[in-house]
Amino acid sequence: MAQGPSNVDWQTSLTQIHQRAGHVLQSGQWSDCTFIVGNENNQKQTLRGHRLILAMSSPVFEAMFYGGMAEKEDKPVEILDVQPEAFKALLQYIYSDEINLQSFDQVCEICYAAKKYMIPALVEQCTKFIWSDLHPGNMCRAYEFARLFEEPSLMDKCLQILHSKTELVIKDASFEDIEATTLRTILQQENLAVSEAMLWDASVRWAKQECGRQSLEATPLNQRKVLGENLGLIRFLTFSPTEFANGPAMSEILTKEESFTLLMNISSPGVTPLPKPFCPSLKRRQKEPSPPPPTPPDPRNIGNLRDEVQLRCTCAGDITTILINDQLVDFSLSFSVDSSICIYGVEMPTQMVPQTLEQQPNGQPVPQSYSELIYAFLQDSDGCRLTYTHFTARVPWNSTMEVMFNRPVYITPNRTYKIGVVMNKVGRYPLYVTNHFVSVEYVTFTFGQDRSRDGLIKALIFGCMPPRIPSSPSPFWPY
């Protein structure tokens, strides 16, 4: 960024329009509008801008400065519902097309401002950031963000995490800060991976915090008051008599008469009518536990098994490139799944043809393929190696290759595994940005967040046995 306006002929040293626009924003040169941003006196900041540049980027600013209701006098514009740092980031994006997204809270503030001033490209960038950083710890806040800004795809993804990682969601400290409508959404779900007793405990924790937010003493009566209709969504009839007696019945949130009636119906359903607002459902939300994984197949039959089931989980997103200069460079990718599967190997990119090798020194064209040498392995969360392979083959340039392990390995749901790859060739490869969640047919993959060097793995090759999958090809191929 150029220095202040004292820099003579600064225009000649800034070669791009976004540099020049950034200079006038930072220096305030030629500014013709003023914003007072923030909702508290000790946080308010005065920011300067340029009407023409703002109106070029936002129809809201256009109407504000050039519309029929535009102020004729140069009065400061007060903005009470946007934080100063978020508004600064908005201005930076308008003037330079650049944005530095760093945290969930910051992105929510910026997205609110982008929605308010109708800058959809910035809204999209904010949504992508939240999508890429989605995990059980921020699922509830991300769901509220998606509901507020009408992002149905993000809402669906949040609910997928809720269904498969319910315990992690409700045990996270952020759960206690959710809105009452979000708690209602959670309690309305049919399939959750926790017991009803855990849902009850989480709801009571939330109610105690909500009492504080409403300046109420956290008495049982006030806890019931803030729970409101959500109390009627707890499926008390799915508790065991012991769970109910030691939990809800002791909480004093329920009256003694209600506790007695509920306990009678737990012991003998339908023996007496349930009072309002209690839920009459006897259906448990928790899924039946998955059967233990079958005995691994005989390695001598691996070939037939691979012919029978081969699906791909494409974990790669956007593409950049990386130049490998060292003889040995290692990459790794951690993952977990929500269903039992069998991992066979990985799909990786081959090298891109070096521009310096369009012809060989003798004038002959470069061969259509080259020799690749890769060592790959799969290990569990304790670092124990489960399988490996030494891959050597001639492969085509600018293509992909299947690196298959020496034997398939069964993967247990909800445990973390890591695939490591050691590259032995110097060259230029496509580098992928790994997605966080990928669903393929019957299984959802969760890829680790510490993914600084995972970009040379394009897809995981996997299958499910038994049950036996028909030999006809699957109608769904995710690549």
pLDDT digits (tens, 9 = 90+) for 183-213: 999 999 999 999 999 999 999 999 999 999 9
99 and 61 in a common domain: yes
| 407 in a structural domain | yes
Confidence of residue 315 (pLDDT cuts 50, 70, 90): low
Q: Are residues 343 and 419 in the same domain?
A: yes
Which tens digits make up the pLDDT trace of 90-149? Answer: 999 999 989 998 888 899 899 989 989 999 899 888 888 888 888 899 999 999 988 888
Last residue in a domain, options 105, 133, 161: 133
Pair 391, 332 in one domain: yes
CATH assignment at residue 225: 1.25.40
Q: Which two tokens stand for residue 225?
A: 């008051």
Instruction: Indicate the residue among 267, 287, 312 that finishes a domain.
Output: 267
Q: Is residue 141 part of a domain?
A: no
User: What percentage of the chain has pLDDT greater than the value 70?
Assistant: 81
Q: What range defines the domain where residue 194 resides?
A: 151-267
Structure confidence at residue 182 (pLDDT): 95
State the pTM of this model.
Answer: 0.53
Higher pLDDT, 59 or 306: 59
What is the pLDDT, as a whole number, of residue 143? 92
CATH number at residue 443: 2.60.120.820
Asked if the structure places residue 314 within a domain, the reply is yes
Decide if 144 is inside a domain: no
Q: Which pair of structure tokens corresponds to residue 251? A: 């909480």
- Let me know whether 327 and 382 are in one domain: yes
**305, 448: one domain:** yes
Q: Is the pLDDT of residue 257 over 80?
A: yes
Write out the E strands in 40-123: 45-49, 77-79
pLDDT, tens only, 436-459: 778 887 788 888 755 445 578 888
Domain annotation covers residue 192: yes
Cβ-Cβ contacts under 8 Å for 244 (sequence gap 6 or more): 236, 259, 262, 263, 266
Shared-domain flag, residues 311 and 455: yes
Residue 360 is assigned to a structural domain of this protein: no
Predicted local confidence at residue 73, as pLDDT: 67
- Position 15 scores a pLDDT of 72
Specify the higher pLDDT residue, 359 or 246. 246
Report the relative pairing of strands 443-447 and 437-440 from DSSP bridges. Answer: antiparallel
Cis, bond preceding 467 (omega within 30 deg of 0) = yes
Q: Shortest CA distance to 243 belongs to which of 270, 221, 265, 263?
A: 263
Same domain for 174 and 319, yes or no, is: no
Mean model confidence pLDDT for the chain: 80
- Is residue 43 one of the residues assigned to a domain? yes
| Whether residue 5 has pLDDT greater than 80 | no
Instruction: Give the pair of three-digit tokens for residue 377.
Output: 């392995």
Q: What are the helix (H) ranges across 294-360?
A: 302-308
Domain match, 335 and 422 both = yes
- How does residue 307 score in pLDDT terms, banded at 50, 70 and 90? very low
Q: Domain end: 217, 251, 267, which one?
A: 267
| Per-residue model confidence (pLDDT) at position 228 | 93
HSE, side-chain direction, 13 A CA sphere, residue 414 = 10
Question: Are 315 and 425 in the same domain?
Answer: yes
In a domain, 230, yes or no: yes
pLDDT value of position 467: 38
The CATH code of the domain that includes 42 is 3.30.710.10
> Does one domain contain both 196 and 155?
yes
- My answer on whether 174 and 65 are in the same domain is no
pLDDT of res. 2: 38
Structural domains in the chain (count): 3
List pLDDT tens digits, range 363-398: 666 677 888 888 888 988 877 788 888 888 888 888
- Whether 129 and 194 share a structural domain: no
For 65-82, what is each residue's pLDDT tens digit?
888 766 666 788 899 989
pLDDT band at 48, cuts 50/70/90?
very high
